Amino acid sequence: MDDVIETGRCNVPALGFGTWQLEGDEAYDAVRAALEVGYRHIDTAQAYGNEEEVGRALADSGVDRDEVFVTTKIWKDNAAPRDVAASTTESLRRLGMDRVDLLLLHWPADDPPLEETLAAMTELLDQGQTRFIGVSNFPSQALDRAAHLAPIVTDQVEHHPYLAVDEIKSVAAEHDLFVTAYSPLARGRVLDDEVLGGIAEAHGKTPPQIVLAWLLQAGVSAIPRSRSPERIAQNFDIFDIDLSDDEIARIDGLDRGRRLIDPPFAPAWD
């Protein structure tokens, strides 16, 4: 499996580290641990309240800033053009960086129209405050629309063995975008799965490792989160896994359309 995803526009380390619900020292320590074992892609957001700790952990790590792909996300209430610019400036200040690698719109916003938000994000791209822009939680039709409006590189969406995202994947492929899987471990629910357990045993690995390998072998970027240094390291120790077509088909067969992140403001899903 490739450890880097390459599209015509962008190269990204396929395995990233998620930081939702990590705050204060816990966020700092987890990001330090992730960088220590080799993660070079970190996912944060304005809404996570940890941009400052993420930035400080990276600065203190001794890892060169240019070696790490840093993503942050604009909260949907900041989708108006003026707020896109102002809130990104604030994110950069908290991160202690002059640019991020990827700036995402965290959720589709009711207001203003999408073209205005994406135009403001494209302006930040042109000004060098981010290397790439993208969207998150966009269903396939909205993704198609966004890709026609702006040079986005990804849609970050919930995706794990219990939730396939085939429509989104096919729209992404049409536009040469990559898909980023959030909650890739189904927030821990993959641990007790019998099918995954059997495959894990055959490879001398754990179910989370098998799931991450399954995503990366499909060309999907994954951003698991853990607060434990052991599990952070375990989730990165996957690059020697080679799943067979039969194993991939068995994991694909676990799909049951089970969505775990579905707030009241979520769009109508495909």
Catalytic residues: 48
Q: Which stretch binds ligand NAP (CB under 6 A): 14-22, 82-90, 197-205, 249-257?
A: 14-22
Question: With binding defined as CB under 6 A, does residue 43 bind ligand NAP?
Answer: yes
Question: With binding defined as CB under 6 A, does residue 136 bind ligand NAP?
Answer: yes
d(CA 97, CA 254): 41
> Considering beta carbons, is residue 55 or 224 the nearer one to ligand NAP?
224
Q: Find, among 133, 112, 106, the residue nearest to 263 by Cα.
A: 106
Task: Select the residue interacting with ligand NAP from 24, 188, 198, 267 (CB under 6 A).
Answer: 188
Question: With binding defined as CB under 6 A, does residue 78 bind ligand NAP?
Answer: no
Question: With binding defined as CB under 6 A, does residue 159 bind ligand NAP?
Answer: no
> Considering beta carbons, is residue 127 or 267 the nearer one to ligand NAP?
267
Q: Which stretch binds ligand NAP (CB under 6 A): 93-101, 124-132, 142-150, 228-236?
A: 228-236
Compute the least distance from the CB of residue 7 to ligand NAP, in Å: 19
209-234: burial string, b at 16+ Cβ within 10 Å, e else: bbbbbbbbbbbbbbbbbbeeeebbbb
Question: With binding defined as CB under 6 A, does residue 184 bind ligand NAP?
Answer: yes
HSE of 145, CA atoms in CB hemisphere, 13 A: 12
What is the number of the residue whose Cβ is closest to ligand NAP? 18
Q: Which stretch binds ligand NAP (CB under 6 A): 7-15, 161-169, 229-237, 246-254?
A: 229-237
Residue 118 burial (CB < 10 Å; 0-12/13-18/19+)?
Answer: buried
Question: With binding defined as CB under 6 A, does residue 223 bind ligand NAP?
Answer: yes
Footprint on this chain of ligand NAP (rule: CB under 6 A): 18-20, 43, 106, 136-137, 156, 182-188, 191, 206, 208, 223-228, 231, 234-235, 261
